[in-house]
Amino acid sequence: MAASAYDCIVIGSGPGGYVAAIRSAQLGMTTAVVEKADIGGRCLNVACIPAKAVLRVADILTEVQEAADFGIHVAAPTVDFGEVTERRRKVVSTLTGGVAGLMKKSAIDVIEGRGSITATVSVRVGADEIEARKGIILATGSVARPIPGTQFGGRVIGTEQAWALTELPASLAVVGAGASGAEIASAYARLGVRVQLFEGLDRVLPSEDADISKVAERGFQRQGIEVRTKTFVEHVQSDEDGVSFTYGGTRGAADYLVIAAGRAPDVEGLGLEAAGVRLTDAGLVEVDSTQRTSADRVYAIGDLVLGPALAHKASDEGVIAAEAISGAQTHPLSYPDIPRATFCKPNVASFGLTEAQARAQGYDVVVGKVSYGAVGAGTVYGDRTGVVKIVGERAYGELLGGHIVGAKSTEMIQELVNVRAMEGGYAEVARMVHGHPTLSEAVMEAARAADGWLIHG
């Protein structure tokens, strides 16, 4: 049963909210989390984790299909999507069970229900009003947004429904080739679904460096994805069997249309206006560098606030908010240095500025770029097409950005993020000894290229 007051109340139990709650409890505050759906938030239940569980299946299938390149011959593999679904659910329940366990271990009360805030720094859940003595952390995440002229329903689905499919459709049309759309396209195409991928801008993964998008698009085409950039989907009509639409004057059809073209903060019914919480012009909750909103003792984190909509960003903001509420010293986030990872094939990972952004900001830019084929591991492990690109600044050797496309890039990007966090530059990466044969040697070689002395080019 909920108490009538806590030091800190968190609304939402996603990667922002549950981490904030644990940090709050660690700092000695009595803490409660209010959750209207499932513990673990959207990330664990319907987004990051189920997505990666299905992508992992597609990765294994690809490896089996490519095994002949390594001298292993297997009969044509088949996918039992019922078992895939079962495993996906098990992965999710294992991880959400883990979060529930962490709440218990940290003596955090989990209150089921929809929370809203009042002008007196309390949280209302149903008929109960619970006082937050030191602060409230809003961590309610974001919801999918349809494209203009469409609405979700029937065969028009969002990314969360796309990852929750329990049968493999024959065809999917995916709108939006950002991280989420690219992951859906790359997973389902490799599982045997006909996938059309539409992007209004001129390339896939449009927020990545242009060189990286090129390599990714080639990879998508090899998987049979029908990529259409600079193309808008319109006149969407859904019926029982499928969905029809137009793109560039042509009629298209698919079993489902997946809209992966943006999300909006989930602020409905939160009581923000009455409590004096200001929103930005974009509808996000306005916060300072300690996540404090315009309302006294009310903080906001994660997808509700500015910055990349990523789970690890939400978690770190949760730590900052809890520390700020408790009065402990805290460290504001450096948003450009947050790693971004997309788990399509090929994997894409980056941080900081793209080459175009660095040039637009007036830096004297230096670029170091090598393919995985430049180092032994690329050939040994069977990925010579991956690319590491380092964007640096000439005078001081600063690492402005890192961009990797290819196997394991989502793991490898962390090296560059860490070096930058410790105020190292590309010259330092170039001189660090890297194990052999590893793909991380390609990171070292890209740094050497930026520093002007590429060895394996």
Ligand X SMILES: Cc1cc2nc3c(=O)[nH]c(=O)nc-3n(C[C@H](O)[C@H](O)[C@H](O)COP(=O)(O)OP(=O)(O)OC[C@H]3O[C@@H](n4cnc5c(N)ncnc54)[C@H](O)[C@@H]3O)c2cc1C
Active site residues: 436
Closer Cβ to ligand X, 35 or 59, answer by number: 35
Closer Cβ to ligand X, 246 or 410, answer by number: 410
Instruction: Give the count of beta carbons closer than 10 Å to the beta carbon of residue 315.
Output: 23
The residues near 73 (Cβ < 8 Å, ≥ 6 apart) are 67
Q: Which residue(s) pair with 245 in the sheet?
A: 252
Closer Cβ to ligand X, 358 or 412, answer by number: 412
Tokens of 114: 């929809």
Contact (Cβ atoms closer than 8 angstroms) between residue 170 and residue 246: no
Q: Which residues lie near ligand X (CB under 6 A)?
A: 11-17, 34-37, 41-43, 47-48, 51, 114-115, 139-142, 159, 163, 180, 266, 269-270, 302-303, 309-312, 314
Closer Cβ to ligand X, 280 or 379, answer by number: 280
Q: Shortest gap between Cβ of 45 and ligand X (angstroms)?
A: 7
Closer Cβ to ligand X, 309 or 446, answer by number: 309
Coil, strand or helix at 135: strand
Geometric angle at alpha carbon 131, from 126 and 133, rounded to 5°: 155
Q: What are the DSSP E strand ranges found in 81-177? A: 109-112, 115-117, 122-125, 128-138, 142-144, 156-158, 171-175
Buried b / exposed e over 161-196, threshold 16 CB at 10 Å, is ebbbbeebbebbbbbbbbbbbbbbbbbbbbbebbbb
Closer Cβ to ligand X, 261 or 387, answer by number: 261
Tokens of 371: 């393919």
Coil, strand or helix at 34: strand
From 443, 435, 374, select the one nearest 408 (Cα to Cα).
Answer: 443
Is residue 131 classed exposed, middle or buried when 0-12, 13-18 and 19+ CB atoms within 10 A define those classes?
middle
Phi, psi at residue 120, to the nearest 5°? Answer: -110, 30
Q: Shortest gap between Cβ of 120 and ligand X (angstroms)?
A: 18
Indicate the DSSP class of residue 385.
S
Closer Cβ to ligand X, 39 or 429, answer by number: 39
Residue 242 CB-half CA count within 13 A? 11
